[in-house]
Structure 1
């Protein structure tokens, strides 16, 4: 009896096979859609060499692990913030939009900039900061002048480049329609940053304060660790 029951319990029905096939198909479609979106966004958000080199240099400043050459942090708020860049982009795109169709495009561009600012605010503490920058971020939460400001009102264009680098992963589940609508806007934003890089990237650097040091640094660096802009 037990053997028969065992066989009965182990036997798959047609419904089981159908559900299994459906699940596999759905998973494959999801992966295919995610991969397609990822590749497309990579094309739209690809950074030219001049912008990529900004990230390379910045990485060296921020993550340098050498007791004889102290690493650096961005001076915050940045001279040109993410919010200011997006406002400039929106104004430039809307410059000659007057008729009804163009006004619809104005609304689309405004939604794009507002959504990108919100995405930046959400993504910054999760995946845009280096480990060395987290103590500085945490100290900002206690700064009376800055703690009520949005990240896009504090951090600058270099952090926007970090976001653009991660967008293919962050937006991999977006629909093809959505991608076709906003993809060209991302590409235009990259062009604007490239053409105006001297105006957009005015970041300055300083040495970390003692409360912004990592634990191992506090053990190896003297208490007199004043700020100095780079």
Structure 2
């Protein structure tokens, strides 16, 4: 979860960091719940990432950090229930509902051109962008096969990688450090290693793995500058991404991991076939396990001071 300011806290690592800390500070004792501005059973709006979601207060308790509220997000599985502080909740008023709508429109406007995978010309229903939205009224049968992605792509980040995200967040936002670029292995190389590993297992369709991996790489390249960077990383991005170089050939596991935290939110409101979403979730989870197994090799143990930016990366044949 992030703060209520979507313009300054759009990086997914913040959401993971908050999730880890929230898991550790479950309220220890209960006091008079009617002292909180939010009551049990009350319908509210809760911040998740840079968006507001409809929620309901299930429990109200107090701990050393103040009032905490167990909320259930409407339309989401109970596994997404979590404890939120007062600063991440809003009353269900017309003004706040309008704010919710504006934040959602802003997110969709910034990502509506992003596409996942390489859609076939012979099968336009495989498109994950606006084209699918225009087809949603064509038939009831197709609506049965195409679903809202936010309710299906429930990606679980392994605890060691969540801790990695917390460390990443602290190094950049608190210690004023940056990931040294270019990274080795980079995102392109990591995804290729994963693909080769899966091919050797012969337990998945080679074409499916290749398609999803390519889609994730393309999505990473499109999403990095807009939603995967902290504010103080943007200057570094401008200096290293030159001559049409792909971000996936410069950045590494640190930024790839952020993609998986942000992915469910990025796919919000896109209408994608159930089969494609299931494959995406399964391969994403498998890829996260692959990152965890190679954590010592793929991730940096030390970042560099932000004053010393990485050298410019020249164009190369990928």
- The equivalent position to 1:128 in structure 2, one of 228, 252, 270, is 228
Aligned pairs for 1:108-127 within 5 A: 108-127=208-227
Deviates more, 1:122-131 or 1:178-187: 178-187
User: Which residue matches 2:41?
Assistant: none
Kept after mapping to 2: 8 A contact 1:73/1:207: yes
After TM superposition, give the deviation of residue 96 of structure 1 in Å: 4.1
User: Which residue matches 2:239?
Assistant: 139
- The equivalent position to 2:197 in structure 1, one of 89, 92, 102, is 92
Kept after mapping to 2: 8 A contact 1:75/1:203: no
Return 5+ residue gaps in structure 2 as ranges.
Answer: 1-136, 311-318
Distance 2:169 2:290 in 1: 22
Structure in which a larger fraction of residues adopt strand: 2
User: Which residue matches 2:280?
Assistant: 182
After TM superposition, give the deviation of residue 124 of structure 1 in Å: 0.2
Distance 1:210 1:201 in 2: 19
After TM superposition, give the deviation of residue 134 of structure 1 in Å: 0.6
Change (3 A) 1:137 1:176: same
Distance 1:186 1:81 in 2: 17
Distance 2:264 2:171 in 1: 26
User: Which residue matches 2:181?
Assistant: 76
1:95 partner SS:
helix
RMSD: 2.7
CA deviation string 1:15-40 (max 9, x = no partner): xxxxxxxx9xx9xx8xx943xx3232
User: Which residue matches 2:256?
Assistant: 160
The one of the two structures with greater contact order (alpha-carbon pairs below 8 A, sep at least 6) is 1
User: Which residue matches 2:297?
Assistant: 199
CA deviation string 1:125-176 (max 9, x = no partner): 010000010111112245xxxx442100111111111000011112232232
Runs of 4+ in 1 over 4 A off after TM superposition: none
Could you tell me the TM-score, scaled by structure 1's length? 0.65
CA deviation string 1:173-219 (max 9, x = no partner): 2232211222211111111111221112136421123889xxxxxxx
2:224 partner SS:
helix
Return 5+ residue gaps in structure 1 as ranges.
Answer: 1-22, 65-69, 213-230
Structure in which a larger fraction of residues adopt helix: 1
2:182 partner SS:
coil
